[in-house]
Amino acid sequence: RVLDIACGGGEASLAFEAALQQSCAGVELVACDPFTHARYEERTGRTCHRWSFKDLAGGVLEEREVKKRSKGAAVERAPFDLILASFCLHLLEPPALEATLGAL
């Protein structure tokens, strides 16, 4: 599973997924961007979560896994195998960057 944070219009997501599909069958890509989610969904035809850096640092991914467990769904050991963060982490001040990276 791959998480693309601040995914924009999906350009990096689609290119990365295409490259992975050649060597890794069944790649699941999850995208989030609170500002460009509509553009991502229009371009890719896929869901884009509206999670911000603050949401990620606040534990939105952990909360999502807890909800899955409470519904009896199978939960993988690690929520994501890879995090894509193209052209976005430089936007964060050090305390917010540390909190976001710690949550991922």
For 41-65, the pLDDT digits (tens) are: 999 999 999 999 999 999 998 876 6
Check residue 52 and report its DSSP letter. Answer: -
Question: Which CATH number belongs to the domain containing residue 19 in this structure?
Answer: 3.40.50.150
For 5-17, the pLDDT digits (tens) are: 999 999 999 988 8
Its pTM stands at: 0.77
Asked whether the beta carbons of 104 and 24 are under 8 A apart, the reply is: no
Number of domains into which the chain is organized: 1
Interhelix angle 37-44/11-21, rounded to 10 degrees, is 40
Q: Given its phi and psi angles, is residue 8 left (phi above 0), alpha (psi -120 to 50 degrees) or beta?
A: left
Full residue range of the structural domain in which residue 9 is found: 2-103
Query: Three-state DSSP class for 12?
Result: helix
